[in-house]
Homo-oligomer: A and B are copies of this chain.
Amino acid sequence: MSAPPSGGGPLGPGREFDLIRRLTAGLPADGPGVILGPGDDAALLEGGWAVTCDLTVEGVHFRRDWMHPESAGGRAVRAALSDLAAMAAEPVGILVALAGDERDHRSGLLEAVGRGARAAAAACGAALLGGDVTRSPGPLVIDVTALGRAATPLRRSGARAGHELWVTGRLGGAGAAVRLLTRGLVPEPILQDALIRPTPRLAEARWLADTGEVSALLDLSDGLAGDAGHLAAASGVELEIDADAVPVGPEVMEALDPVEALGVAVAAGEDYELLFAAPPGFAKRRSAFLERFPGVELTRIGSAHGVGRRGPRVAFIRRGREWTPPSGFDHFGGEAT
């Protein structure tokens, strides 16, 4: 999400969400065969199916001088599968729609994108089920539809006052890589990987769902500040986040100055970690999680409260006072206008 906050509602603030909100206004939440309609990370269909799509555009989400076409295809798939993780669903298959110009058709670039998409899907247990390929006079466009099954789907809407807010992994890697690339620098491999080969937290999300103790879950695609806003809006709570507790990646701290490092960790997005809420008792599960997923951090960063006059919102606290994170980053590291 790259636009400044401009509204409330179940999807939280943001111009793109405003558009989706208007389009889905007045629609029933379900219909024949539909368990859950628009507004969460994926729709839910009868038979336990979850379905979502994620659109990637060259020049907005990636630059071809920053990553190989196979990586662009793989990254698009990983981003879409992360939306399945956000529902605690298990991936089954993907559809890939590709638009590229005449030269990309001829040069085999589209095929490389498709190969990368297929490989990333296979690595996550999803089959390539179909797709569409067309010419375009414009930039490379990759739309990935991801389908999975959720035995115990987790929505964004179950956080209640008193619940604690948790995040997996460490944040800011993808944002830091973009910052460095924009400055003409080469990020170290771990940051490069965070941008190019993000890991959808699929098994972690299902493990969390299996505990029966998680009340709300989503994945961090728009950045902690934006996505926490979505969780707050969907659950009807105020979230208080301790900015000093946000797990910033050590490589991010090394690559950027401390203020910028916290900024990308909180606002740059595309980390594809999980953000979830759970009652206080969840803390006792932490060691079992760390044992099951070695190398994946699990950090309590805040808590949910009843809403005040300002409605559902997110308040960051830094050094004891409310702190306003950067207002939003576009995908290329600049703050949004």
Contact = CB atoms under 8 A, between A and B. Distances in A.
Interface of A: 2, 15-16, 19-20, 22-24, 27-28, 31-34, 37-39, 42-43, 45-47, 49, 51-55, 57, 59-61, 92-93, 95-99, 105, 110-111, 114-115, 118, 127-139, 141, 143, 145, 147, 149
A284 to B, nearest CB: 33
Contact of A147 (B28, B45, B98): B45
B19 A110 contact: yes
Contacts of A59: 136-138
Contact of A34 (B46, B92, B134): B92
Given A27-B127, A37-B127, A127-B28, A55 B92 contact: no
Nearest to A113: B23
25 contacts: A2-B135, A19-B105, A22-B111, A23-B96, A23-B111, A37-B129, A37-B130, A38-B131, A43-B93, A43-B129, A45-B49, A45-B92, A47-B47, A47-B49, A51-B51, A53-B97, A53-B130, A53-B132, A54-B97, A57-B99, A57-B136, A57-B138, A59-B136, A60-B135, A138-B138
Given A43-B93, A134-B61, A145-B53, A38 B129 contact: yes
